[in-house]
Each structure stands twice: as C-alpha cells, then as structure tokens.
Amino acid sequence: MGKDRAGETRLNAATMGVLVGHEHVIGALERTAEQQRPSHAYVFTGREGIGKKRVAVIFACLLNCPHTSRHRDCSCGVCRRIREEKHPDVIIERPERGRIRIERIRFLQSFFRYAPVEGRFRVIIIDDAHLMNRQAQNALLKTLEEPPPGRILILVTARPFLLLPTVRSRCRRIRFGPLPVDILAPLLEDRKGVSSQRARVIAAMSGGSVKRALEMETSRFMELRRRVISALAEPGKNGLKGILDLSLEISANRDMALQAIEIAMTWIRDLLTAKIGANPSCLIHADFLDMISGTEQHHSTYDLLDVYDELVRASELIDREINANRNMVTDVMLLRVSRMLAGPTLGLNLRET
C-alpha cells in the first residue's frame, strides 16, 4: 500500500468505488453489526478483485467499532488499527506461495481459543480461502462445528467450488456482484490516463473487477480484443489455421484465455443489443459500431444465444480447471463458435489448412 499522496488518493478512489458498488451488501452488514448478532462464519464470494476482502475488513470494523453510530468509513482509532492490521482481535490471513498451510489453520484456531482482548469480536479473515488444501479445510471444520461465541470467521474467495461442501454449508454465503462500468471507468481514466471510451471498454471487459481492470495492460489487451473481434466478425477469413493459431495463443495462460472469452461474450452481447435496436451508447465495443451493424443481421438471435452458451461453457471449464488441457477447450470452442457464426452463407471450409 503506497504511502505517497498519489497512492492514498488512488486507494481512496478504489475504496470509494467498492463502497458505492457494494452498497447493498455493506448496508446489510451494517444492520447485522447494529444488532450485534452476526453469524459465526461467512463465505464472501464473487469475482476476483471486486473488493470482497475490503468489505470483510469494513465488517470487522463495524463489529468492533466502539461508537454507537457505527459507520462504514469510520476513522476512529479502533477502525483505523483494524484497517492497518494492528488490532489484536482481527487477523487477515493470506496465502503464502499459493497455499494456506495447515500449520496456519492451527495457529488461527489457537487465536480463536481466547476471548476478544479489546473489541467485542475476534475476527479472522482468510483471503483466497480456496487455497487451503483438503487437510487444512478439514482442520478448519473443527472451528466451524464448535464455534466459540464472539468469534467470527470470514472466508473470502472467488472460487467457492474449491471449498469442501462441509465447510461451505457451515458458512453464511454473501455474494458480491461485479462493480458497474460507471464506477470502474472513471477510476481507470484517473489511474491509467486512458480515454473515456477505452476506460469503458476495459471496465466492461474486466468483469467488474478493480484488480483486473487496473492490471490489464492497455495496448496488449486492445490488440487481443482486435484479434478476437476480427475472428468472430469474419469467422471464415483466416481458415482453420487462423482459428487454431488464435486458440494456441489465447490458451497460453488461464487469464488470457478467460479474457479472450470475456471479449467474445461481450461482442455477442453487443450483437444481440444491436439486434433489438438499442441505442449505440449501450454497446461495449461502441468503437466497432460499423462492424457490429454490418454483422448482426447475418445471425439469428437463437444462433447468437447458442454461441453465447458455448462461450459460457468453455469459460467454466477453464475457470474451474475441469479440463486440464486448456488448449483443447479453446480449440473446440473456437471451432464451434466459428462454425455457428460462419453459417452456410459466409462459409467456413474447415478442411482448409
């Protein structure tokens, strides 16, 4: 976390975005804190980098703030120390080298053995909780089965399906939606100095994630977008070799594969939006308006929905690592999608090499 003035400004802007974007969730947590009757365990789920951990910290503050009128952006000494991870009753546990080890879970259990020292609740926030292996999760189960009063466990994860069902079922689930484009785009303009048009595209592509939006390297991403859109807009143009080359490239890593699929999904969404005659300002890829209006009439709504389903399926296979061979998933996806989009009129000779 940067200590410089600019750093602070940026952090505040991001925090403000999270506060505004998750208004509904934070409001509910405020009421829970007000009544001082929280559940003993929560799992905060939603895409990576949308502010789940930030909200978990806010919840720890709300639960322990000594003021009667608790507030989400309280700056009292207690809330400040919790945010700075200097409060004796709140621990934020993070993975080390991609894992949360059983030794750490045992340490956290010993932390829960003692009553709060200063606050009302001892709170443990486990970030990326899905990085606990089976053994670590089983150890955690003991705490979840016999929760001592005044202890709150918050598991934060973008991949709740990797938690054991026995762990999940003992936690109250709080779902976080993606942050809206209107909140993310101005943040990007400010941080990356990109035009508002580009900021809106990246914000929409990030799946509502501040982290992903800020990490996206603008020029590389824009090039990937151009290639994916061109492959979808003219599916027969580069033949089988073009499709397989693109597949090989996007399957090089999980993030790029998911990003490419996300681009494809938003492209299909734009074609569907154009088909119902919506205002061009509703389009994500508004800078490709000519291509959108030139393409949408070639496809029926049903065809586009089929393509969308195929993309969702591939995205799930890659995200959940169900099929270890990512390249095979992207090959099949691109071939099917190209065939669906090419149709009999545009023609795609799949025997072409």
Task: Check residue 123 for interaction with Zn ion (CB under 5 A).
Answer: no
Binding residue count for Zn ion, defined by CB under 5 A = 4
Q: Are 140 and 167 in contact (CB under 8 A)?
A: yes
Q: How many beta carbons lie within 10 A of that of residue 165, not counting itself?
A: 8
Closer by beta carbon to Zn ion, 65 or else 274: 65
What is the Cα–Cα distance from 61 to 18, expressed in whole angstroms? 16
What is the Cα–Cα distance from 29 to 271, expressed in whole angstroms? 39
Q: How many beta carbons lie within 10 A of that of residue 48, not counting itself?
A: 15
Looking at residue 172, what DSSP letter applies? E
The residue length of the chain stands at: 353
- Give the range of 48-56, 73-81, 282-290, 315-323 binding Zn ion by CB under 5 A: 73-81
**Shortest CB 80 distance to Zn ion, Å:** 8
Question: Considering only residues 57, 79, 171, 265, which one is a binding residue for Zn ion as defined by CB under 5 A?
Answer: 79
Give the x/- contact pattern for Zn ion in 327-346, rule: CB under 5 A: --------------------
**Shortest CB 79 distance to Zn ion, Å:** 3
Closer by beta carbon to Zn ion, 76 or else 222: 76
Closer by beta carbon to Zn ion, 76 or else 346: 76
- The secondary structure of 14-60 as a DSSP string is HHHHHHHHTHHHHHHHHHHHHHT---SEEEEESSTTSSHHHHHHHHH
- Give the range of 16-24, 76-84, 141-149, 282-290 binding Zn ion by CB under 5 A: 76-84
What are the residues whose beta carbons fall under 8 Å from the beta carbon of 92, sequence distance 6 or more?
A: 53, 57, 85, 125, 127
Closer by beta carbon to Zn ion, 75 or else 219: 75
Q: Could you tell me how far CA 309 lies from the centroid of its own chain?
A: 20
**Shortest CB 92 distance to Zn ion, Å:** 17
**Shortest CB 29 distance to Zn ion, Å:** 14
**Shortest CB 82 distance to Zn ion, Å:** 8
What is the Cα–Cα distance from 18 to 299, expressed in whole angstroms? 38
**Helix, strand, or coil (residue 112):** helix
Task: Check residue 76 for interaction with Zn ion (CB under 5 A).
Answer: yes
**Shortest CB 149 distance to Zn ion, Å:** 22
What is the Cα–Cα distance from 346 to 38, expressed in whole angstroms? 59
Task: Check residue 154 for interaction with Zn ion (CB under 5 A).
Answer: no
**Rule CB under 5 A: which of 9-68 touch Zn ion?**
65
**Shortest CB 67 distance to Zn ion, Å:** 5
Closer by beta carbon to Zn ion, 80 or else 113: 80
- Give the binding site for Zn ion (CB under 5 A): 65, 74, 76, 79
